[in-house]
Amino acid sequence: MDPALQRRPDLPPPVESMTSKLNWLRAGVLGANDGIVSTSALMVGVAGAGTSFAGILTAGVAALVAGAFSMGVGEYVSVSSQRDSERAAIRREQALLVAQPDEQVDQLAHMYELRGLAPDTAHQVAVELTAADPLRAHLDVEYKLDPEDLNNPWSAALASALAFTLGSLVPLLAALFSPAGWMPWPIVVATVVALVLTGLLSARIGGSGKRKGMFRVLIGGVIALAATYFIGTLFNSPVH
């Protein structure tokens, strides 16, 4: 990289933004919620079909493994594609800053004018930001992007798979530590409690009403459980 495009060593290192942290936390909660609902719904559906206790647990473990891999691979592909686009934008801005330095200052000033600054003020801001870190200045205004804070696809994949796994353990542990004759009610109760908690946490993260957030998560999960159980009963073939 051209020395003029590097961050000044006297500036403090960048820190992870609050938005980035909230996005990671929100993704974790959503991943856990997916694990809770999909695994418990599958187990309840299998129980509705009259499957044995061992079969219910097998279905739950299979759902955990398949779902965790699916979430991890999906997140890896998604974040990798996003990161490729971000890197392409960085390379494009680097090339423009080298080839057209004056024009890029004018462009930056114009962008700040569009945000409401007076022309003279916008030009002064553009000049000072360019002197400090031209690449970061342009990426922030044009793409809301920090070149030193790109998402890691491997971290995203592992976090997503782990969140799903933790969510899936809720119905699995509920079934494992409950009498076989009680199925599927321990799974249903554990799922409802877990959904209430994730709903409250999601509402708190998003700053929305707790009751509304909890209701949205809970109603979707309950409908999924009811639907899969009903479908399971249509294929009920008790094991003798």
- What confidence tens digit (pLDDT) does each residue in 95-145 have? 988 888 888 888 888 888 888 888 888 888 888 888 888 888 888 888 887
pLDDT at 201: 77
Q: Decide if 231 contacts 48 (C-beta within 8 A).
A: yes
Range of lowest pLDDT (21-25, 123-127, 166-170, 213-217): 21-25
Domains in the chain, number = 1
Is there a domain that residue 133 lies in?
A: yes
**pLDDT-based confidence at residue 166 (cuts at 50, 70, 90):** very high
Residue 8 lies in a domain: no
How far, in Å, CA of 26 to CA of 19, rounded?
A: 10
- Torsion of the alpha carbons at 103, 108, 111 and 116, rounded to the nearest 10: -120
Tokens found for residue 92: 């494009």
Phi (first) and psi of residue 67, to 5 degrees:
-65, -40
Cα–Cα distance measured from residue 59 to residue 40, given in angstroms and rounded to the nearest whole number: 10
Q: Which residue range is the domain that position 187 belongs to?
A: 23-234
CA distance 142 to 97: 14
Looking at residue 25, what is its pLDDT?
66
Q: Does 16 reside within a domain?
A: no
Establish if 240 belongs to a structural domain. Answer: no
Domain assignment present for residue 156? The answer is yes
Q: Does a structural domain hold residue 99?
A: yes
**What pLDDT, on a 0 to 100 scale, did the predictor assign at position 111?**
86
Residue 190 lies in a domain: yes
Q: What's the pLDDT score for residue 209?
A: 65
